[in-house]
A and B are shown apart, each in its own frame.
Chain A
Amino acid sequence: MSTLRALAKAQALAAGVAQPVATVRHLHLSPRPLVLVPLAMAGEANAPLAALVGTAPGDARLLIVPQPRNRDQRFAFAAELAGIVLPYLDSFRGVSEAVAVDRGRDVRYRYVDAPQLLLPNPGGLAFLRLFGRSTRFRRPDGEYPVHPSVPLLGRWLTFFAERAEHPGSSALLAMTEALTLHWATGQSAVEDLHLPAVLGWLDPPPGLDGARAAARAEDPAVCPPAGPATDPEFDNKVLAPAIAAYTDAADDETARRSAYAELELALRGQLAPTWELMWRGVGLLAALPPGARVEGRWAGDRDAFTSHAEHVDAGGGPQPRRDGAVAAAVRLHRLERAGTSYAVQRAYDDPLVMAEHRLTGEAFVADVTLADPRRVDDTGKRPVLRPRIQVVTTEPVAVPVGATLYSTARPGQKAKVVFLTPAADGKTEVVLELSGGMGRGLTAPPGTVPEVGERLSLTTLSDAFLPAGAFPDPAETPWTHGGPPAAATFDQALGPADPPGAGAGAGAGAGVGAGVGVGAGVASTPVVGPSDGDPAEDWA
Chain B
Amino acid sequence: MTSTAQRLAEIRGDVPPRRHNARTIAALTGNPGCARRAVLDSAGVDKPKLAERVGFPARFGQSRFAITRGNTFEAQVKADGGAELLRLVAERLGVDPGGPATWTDLGADDRPGQSGQSGQPDRSARSRAALAAAAPTGAGEQAALFDHPLLGLDVAGQRVHLEPDLVAARLAGRFHVVEVKSFPVIDGQADPGKVAAAAIQSAVYVLALRELLAAEGHDPELVSSDVLLVCPRDFANQPVASLVDVRKQLLVLRRQLDRMARIDDLLAGVPAGFTADPAADPADLRRSLLSVPARYAPDCLAACELAYFCRHATRAETATLGRPVREALGGVATVAEALALAGGEHSGQPEQAEAAALLRAAARLRADALAGRPA
Q: A: which residues have CB within 8 A of B? A: 1-11, 13-14, 20, 23, 41-46, 130, 133-134, 186-191, 211, 218, 220, 230-233, 235-236, 239-240, 321-322, 351-352, 354-355, 358-359, 365, 394-395, 455, 457, 532, 534-539
Q: In the complex, A9 Cα to B182 Cα: how many Å? A: 38
B68 touches A4 (CB 8 A): no
B187 touches A322 (CB 8 A): yes
Which among A23, A134, A351 has the greatest number of chain B C-beta atoms within 10 A?
Answer: A351
A-B interface, 10 closest residue pairs, ranked by CB to CB distance from nearest: A43-B66, A232-B61, A45-B184, A6-B328, A43-B69, A42-B63, A188-B298, A235-B63, A365-B375, A188-B322
In the complex, chain B residues whose CB is within 8 Å of the CB of A4: 362, 365-366
Q: How far is the CB of A219 from chain B (nearest CB, A)?
A: 8
Q: How far is the CB of B66 from chain A (nearest CB, A)?
A: 3
Stretch from B13-21, B144-152, B157-165, B335-343 forming part of the interface with A? B335-343
Q: For chain B, which range describes its interface: under 10, 10 to 19, 20 to 34, or 35 or more residues?
A: 35 or more
Q: How far is the CB of A131 from chain B (nearest CB, A)?
A: 10
Q: How far is the CB of A359 from chain B (nearest CB, A)?
A: 6
Q: In the complex, A20 Cα to B299 Cα: how many Å? A: 25
A189 touches B298 (CB 8 A): yes
B234 touches A532 (CB 8 A): yes
In the complex, chain B residues whose CB is within 8 Å of the CB of A354: 369
In the complex, chain B residues whose CB is within 8 Å of the CB of A6: 318, 321, 324-326, 328-329
In the complex, chain A residues whose CB is within 8 Å of the CB of B359: 3, 7
Q: How far is the CB of B46 from chain A (nearest CB, A)?
A: 20
A185 to chain B: closest residue by CB = B321
* Candidates B59, B236, B329; contact of A3 at CB < 8 Å: B329
B57-101 Cβ-contact flags toward A at 8 Å (1 or 0): 001011111111110000000000000000000000000000000
A20 touches B370 (CB 8 A): yes
In the complex, chain B residues whose CB is within 8 Å of the CB of A322: 187-188
Judge if B352 is at the interface, Cβ distance under 8 Å.
no
In the complex, chain B residues whose CB is within 8 Å of the CB of A355: 365-366, 368-369
B299 touches A190 (CB 8 A): yes
In the complex, chain A residues whose CB is within 8 Å of the CB of B336: 14
* Candidates B235, B301, B327, B358; contact of A134 at CB < 8 Å: B235
Known: A1-B324, A46-B184, A188-B325. A240 touches B366 (CB 8 A): no
A45 touches B322 (CB 8 A): no
Known: A45-B235, A230-B63, A235-B63. A359 touches B361 (CB 8 A): yes
Known: A44-B69, A45-B235, A538-B237. A191 touches B301 (CB 8 A): yes
B64 touches A235 (CB 8 A): yes
A13 touches B321 (CB 8 A): yes
A-B residue pair count with CB separations less than 8 angstroms: 158
Q: B: which residues have CB within 8 A of A? A: 59, 61-70, 182-184, 186-188, 232, 234-238, 298-299, 301-302, 315, 318, 320-322, 324-330, 335-336, 338-339, 342, 358-359, 361-363, 365-366, 368-370, 372, 374-375
B298 touches A359 (CB 8 A): no
In the complex, chain A residues whose CB is within 8 Å of the CB of B238: 536
Q: In the complex, A522 Cα to B235 Cα: how many Å? A: 23
* Candidates A5, A23, A211, A358; contact of B328 at CB < 8 Å: A5
Q: How far is the CB of A144 from chain B (nearest CB, A)?
A: 11
**Further contacts, 19 of them, CB under 8 A, given A6-B324, A190-B301, A532-B234:** A1-B325, A1-B328, A7-B329, A9-B325, A10-B318, A10-B339, A42-B69, A43-B67, A44-B65, A45-B183, A45-B232, A134-B235, A187-B321, A188-B298, A355-B365, A355-B366, A355-B369, A365-B374, A536-B237
Q: How far is the CB of A19 from chain B (nearest CB, A)?
A: 9
Q: How far is the CB of A117 from chain B (nearest CB, A)?
A: 21
Q: How far is the CB of A530 from chain B (nearest CB, A)?
A: 13
Known: A44-B65, A133-B187, A189-B298. A352 touches B237 (CB 8 A): no
A233 to chain B: closest residue by CB = B61
A7 touches B366 (CB 8 A): yes
A536 touches B236 (CB 8 A): yes
B231 to chain A: closest residue by CB = A45
In the complex, chain A residues whose CB is within 8 Å of the CB of B329: 3, 6-7, 10
In the complex, chain B residues whose CB is within 8 Å of the CB of A232: 61-63, 66
Q: In the complex, A176 Cα to B361 Cα: how many Å? A: 29
In the complex, chain B residues whose CB is within 8 Å of the CB of A130: 186
B184 to chain A: closest residue by CB = A45
Q: In the complex, A240 Cα to B63 Cα: how many Å? A: 9
In the complex, chain B residues whose CB is within 8 Å of the CB of A20: 370
Q: In the complex, A7 Cα to B61 Cα: how many Å? A: 35
* Candidates A1, A8, A42; contact of B327 at CB < 8 Å: A1
- 25 A-B pairs (CB sep. < 8 Å): A1-B327, A6-B321, A6-B326, A7-B329, A7-B338, A8-B366, A10-B338, A43-B69, A43-B70, A43-B182, A44-B65, A46-B235, A133-B186, A134-B234, A187-B320, A190-B298, A190-B301, A230-B63, A232-B62, A235-B63, A235-B64, A351-B374, A355-B369, A394-B375, A537-B235
Q: In the complex, A534 Cα to B238 Cα: how many Å? A: 12
In the complex, chain A residues whose CB is within 8 Å of the CB of B236: 534-538
Which among A45, A354, A532 has the greatest number of chain B C-beta atoms within 10 A?
Answer: A45
A41 touches B65 (CB 8 A): yes
A189 touches B65 (CB 8 A): no
A3 touches B374 (CB 8 A): no
B365 touches A9 (CB 8 A): no
A539 to chain B: closest residue by CB = B237
Q: How far is the CB of A308 from chain B (nearest CB, A)?
A: 21
* Candidates B62, B70, B298, B374; contact of A191 at CB < 8 Å: B298
Q: How far is the CB of A183 from chain B (nearest CB, A)?
A: 12
Q: How far is the CB of A188 from chain B (nearest CB, A)?
A: 4
In the complex, chain B residues whose CB is within 8 Å of the CB of A233: 61
B339 touches A14 (CB 8 A): yes
In the complex, chain A residues whose CB is within 8 Å of the CB of B326: 6
A3 touches B362 (CB 8 A): yes
A10 touches B363 (CB 8 A): no
B315 touches A211 (CB 8 A): yes
In the complex, chain B residues whose CB is within 8 Å of the CB of A7: 329, 338, 342, 359, 362-363, 366
* Candidates A188, A358, A395; contact of B321 at CB < 8 Å: A188
B61 touches A231 (CB 8 A): yes
Q: In the complex, A2 Cα to B358 Cα: how many Å? A: 11
Q: How far is the CB of B335 from chain A (nearest CB, A)?
A: 5
Which among B65, B66, B322 has the greatest number of chain A C-beta atoms within 10 A?
Answer: B65
Known: A14-B336, A45-B186, A536-B238. A235 touches B65 (CB 8 A): yes
B335 touches A2 (CB 8 A): no
In the complex, chain A residues whose CB is within 8 Å of the CB of B66: 42-43, 232
In the complex, chain A residues whose CB is within 8 Å of the CB of B184: 45-46
In the complex, chain B residues whose CB is within 8 Å of the CB of A134: 234-235
A14 touches B369 (CB 8 A): no
A4 to chain B: closest residue by CB = B362
Q: In the complex, A351 Cα to B370 Cα: how many Å? A: 8
Known: A188-B321, A235-B64. A352 touches B232 (CB 8 A): no
Q: In the complex, A4 Cα to B366 Cα: how many Å? A: 7
Q: How far is the CB of A525 from chain B (nearest CB, A)?
A: 11
Q: How far is the CB of B299 from chain A (nearest CB, A)?
A: 7
Q: In the complex, A322 Cα to B237 Cα: how many Å? A: 21
Q: How far is the CB of A410 from chain B (nearest CB, A)?
A: 15
A322 to chain B: closest residue by CB = B187
Q: In the complex, A8 Cα to B328 Cα: how many Å? A: 11
Q: In the complex, A365 Cα to B330 Cα: how many Å? A: 24
* Candidates A5, A189, A351; contact of B369 at CB < 8 Å: A351
Q: In the complex, A10 Cα to B330 Cα: how many Å? A: 12
A11 to chain B: closest residue by CB = B339
Q: How far is the CB of A149 from chain B (nearest CB, A)?
A: 19
In the complex, chain B residues whose CB is within 8 Å of the CB of A532: 234
